[in-house]
Amino acid sequence: MNRRTALVCGVLLVLAILLPLPPLRIYPIVGIDLVCFALFAVSLDLLFGYVGLLSFGQAMFWGGGGYVTAILLSHTHLDAVLVVVLAVLYAVVLAAIVGAIAVRRSGIYFAMVTLGIAMIESFTAFQFTDLTGGENGLPLDNRGHYFGFPIENDVVFYYVVVVLVALGVWFALRLVGSPFGGVLQAMRENEQRLVALGYRVNRYKMAVFTISGGLAGFAGALYALGNRLAGLDMVDWHTSGAVVMMTVLGGIGTIVGPIVGAGLFESLDYFVSKTPIGGETNLVMGTIFGLCVLLFRRGIVGELLILMGRRAKN
Partner 1 sequence: MLRVVNFAHGTMYMLGAFATYYGAQLFHLPFYAALIAAPIVVGLFGMLLETTLLRRLYGLDPLYNLLLTFALALVIEDLMRLLAGAMGSPYAVPDALSGIANLGFTLYPVYKLFVIVVSLVICALVWWIVERSPIGARIRAATENPVLVRAFGINTRALVTWTFGCGVALAALAGVLAAPSTNVQPSMGDAIIIYAFAIVVIGGLGSVLGSIVAGFGLGLLQAIGGIVWAPISTTLIFIAMVLVIIVRPAGLFGRPEGSR
* Under rule CB under 8 A, residue 115 binds partner 1: yes
- Amino acid identity for residue 185 in this structure: Q
Compute the distance between CA of residue 155 and CA of residue 28 in angstroms, rounded to an integer: 6
Stretch that binds partner 1, among 158-166, 171-179, 256-264, 273-281 (CB under 8 A): 273-281
Find the binding residues for partner 1 in span 33-72 (CB under 8 A): 52, 54
**Binding-residue total with partner 1 (CB under 8 A):** 39
* Under rule CB under 8 A, residue 203 binds partner 1: no
Compute the distance between CA of residue 168 and CA of residue 27 in angstroms, rounded to an integer: 23
> Which helix (H) or strand (E) covers residue 146, if one does?
strand 145-146
- As measured in angstroms, the least distance from the Cβ of 1 to partner 1 is 26
* Under rule CB under 8 A, residue 109 binds partner 1: yes
Helix, strand counts (H, E) of the chain: 15, 4
- As measured in angstroms, the least distance from the Cβ of 197 to partner 1 is 19
Among 76, 127, 190, 273, binds partner 1 (CB under 8 A): 127
The DSSP 8-state label assigned to residue 153 in this structure reads: -
Among 14, 101, 167, 195, binds partner 1 (CB under 8 A): 101
* Under rule CB under 8 A, residue 272 binds partner 1: no
- As measured in angstroms, the least distance from the Cβ of 124 to partner 1 is 7
CA distances from 37 to 33, 108, 287, 299 (A): 6, 24, 21, 17
Compute the distance between CA of residue 90 and CA of residue 96 in angstroms, rounded to an integer: 10
CA distances from 82 to 25, 152, 218 (A): 32, 17, 12
In DSSP terms, which residues pair with 149 in a beta bridge?
146
* Under rule CB under 8 A, residue 237 binds partner 1: yes
* Under rule CB under 8 A, residue 124 binds partner 1: yes
Exposure of 130 by Cβ count < 10 A (0-12 exposed, 13-18 middle, 19+ buried)? exposed
**C-beta separation of 88 from 218 below 8 A:** yes
- As measured in angstroms, the least distance from the Cβ of 132 to partner 1 is 13
- As measured in angstroms, the least distance from the Cβ of 40 to partner 1 is 18
Stretch that binds partner 1, among 69-77, 117-125, 151-159, 259-267 (CB under 8 A): 117-125
> CA dihedral defined by 299, 304, 309, 314, rounded to 10 degrees?
130
* Under rule CB under 8 A, residue 280 binds partner 1: yes
Return the CA Rg of the chain: 19
Among 290, 306, 307, 309, binds partner 1 (CB under 8 A): 290
Q: Which residue, 139 or 286, has its beta carbon nearer to partner 1?
A: 286
Site residues for partner 1 per CB under 8 A: 52, 54, 101-102, 104-109, 111-113, 115-117, 119-120, 123-124, 127, 237, 241, 244-245, 248, 277, 280-283, 285-287, 289-290, 293-294, 297
